Amino acid sequence: MTTTTSPADARTLGLAHYAARAVLERVLTRHGLVFQQQIVLRPLALAAGPVDRGQLAADTVAALKTDEDSVQGSIDELIAAGLVATDASDVRITDAGRALYERIVQETSAASARIWGGIPEEDLLATGRVLTLVAERANAELATTGR
C-alpha cells in the first residue's frame, strides 16, 4: 500500500471517516442495524444501568449533529427490535442488545486492528490532539451560526 503525505484538511478527514464508517456499516448491515442505531446502542452497552432517555437523545444529537426526532426514532426502533427496553423515562440495553453489541465489537475488532495497527504512538497522540481541536472549533462554529 502506498501512502502520500499531505497536510490534514477537511477532505482528508472526511475521506478517512467515510472509509472507516463503511467498514463498520458492512458489519451493521449484516445484523440489521444502521449507523445511528449503533451510536445509540453503544452508551447503553457501556452504562452500568439504565440511562435517561432524554439525556441519551441529547448526547446523540450533539455527537451526530442530527435532529432529536431522528434519534428518538432510532431509540424506538431499538425498543421495537427488543434490543433496548424502557422503564418510564429510562432506557436500558436488553440481553439481546448486549449480545448483538458484543458481536459487532468482536467483528469490527480485527478490522480496527488492521486499520490502526502499526501507526506510531506519537502519530496517534498528535492526531488525537488535532482532531480534538478541529471538533472543538467546528462545534464553536456551529454554535455561532445556529447549527
Indicate the average pLDDT of the chain.
94
Within a domain: 30: yes
Alpha-carbon separation of residue 42 from 39, 89, 130, 137, 138 (angstroms): 6, 18, 25, 25, 24
Question: What residue numbers bound the domain in which 141 lies?
Answer: 120-147
- Integer-rounded Cα Rg, in Å, for the chain is 17
* Residue 29 domain-assigned (yes or no): yes
Place 105 in a pLDDT band, splitting at 50, 70 and 90: very high
Q: What is the pLDDT of residue 62?
A: 93
Q: Which helix (H) or strand (E) holds 91?
A: strand 90-93
- pTM score, two decimals? 0.86
112 and 127 share one domain: no
Check pLDDT > 60 for residue 2: no
**pLDDT tens figures, 14-46:** 999 999 999 999 999 999 999 999 999 999 999
pLDDT of residue 64: 95
